[in-house]
Homo-oligomer: A and B are copies of this chain.
């Protein structure tokens, strides 16, 4: 159900783009880190403060032309609970600005444990009748290696709270084929078997768009498989990483979209976050550089649809 909201926002902004918020200190201009460290110290609190200030600047500059953000949990987790607080605050800020938040945490576990992850990212925890939303994004990336037991608790909360998940199917990295491309004895690759499971897991939750609450992660760096999976998975919305710094371009992601030009959101992290470094402009203009790159990326994708 949830991806209907994202699809409507993509249509309104004419922009199937997610801004990846993967903060590392080396991408953050010095005027931001200096102010953050001055305020909160040059330790985990300072790093977390710099992440949040940097993210807010990017969100402010892009929220009218980019429908979604994708914070990558690992970079926040590397700065401990202090970093996780910055993840929480980033999620809340992006939602205030009307953006759809995909928490990229690739969680995957079983039974009550997966239910706890789902509560953390898609639902609420409850104490004496009061509800607490730990990391209140709109969607979560998950790993399906454990089978239905690892997916069902998340799907259940997606339906209850109008949220979505993206299951890793064919990832963008060079070694993704070591397991994912292996052929099964029925002739399917492992990634195709995972894709078929996504269609099954989502079957009961299709929205008006035709897409279910179970999406899939399929990398821009494998355009042939992306096109193949789009055909085989007509009810599964795609999150496409690998555009930009990882090497994917507009032509590579074209196969992710359906005949109506919908069905996918393409992520760029370093390409947008660190556009100021690539462009060579002053750090003070980091948000302007990100906006220029987002506009270029939007044109690049549109030209190939």
Contact = CB atoms under 8 A, between A and B. Distances in A.
Interface string A47-89: 1000000000000000000000000101101111111110110
A79 B147 contact: no
A301 B18 CA distance: 51
Interface string A100-128: 00000011111111101101110001011
Given A106-B108, A107-B106, A183-B184, A79 B146 contact: no
Interface stretch (A166-174, A279-287, A291-299): A166-174
Contact of A113 (B75, B175, B177): B75
Contacts of A106: 107-109, 143
A127 B25 CA distance: 8
Contacts of A24: 112, 116
Contacts of A190: 179, 182, 190
A199 interface: no
6 contacts: A44-B125, A78-B117, A81-B84, A110-B176, A146-B171, A190-B190
Contacts of A216: none
Interface string A238-252: 000000000000000
Interface string A180-213: 1011110000100110010000000000000000
A135 B80 contact: yes
A145 B147 contact: no
Given A108-B143, A112-B24, A120 B78 contact: yes
Nearest to A87: B81
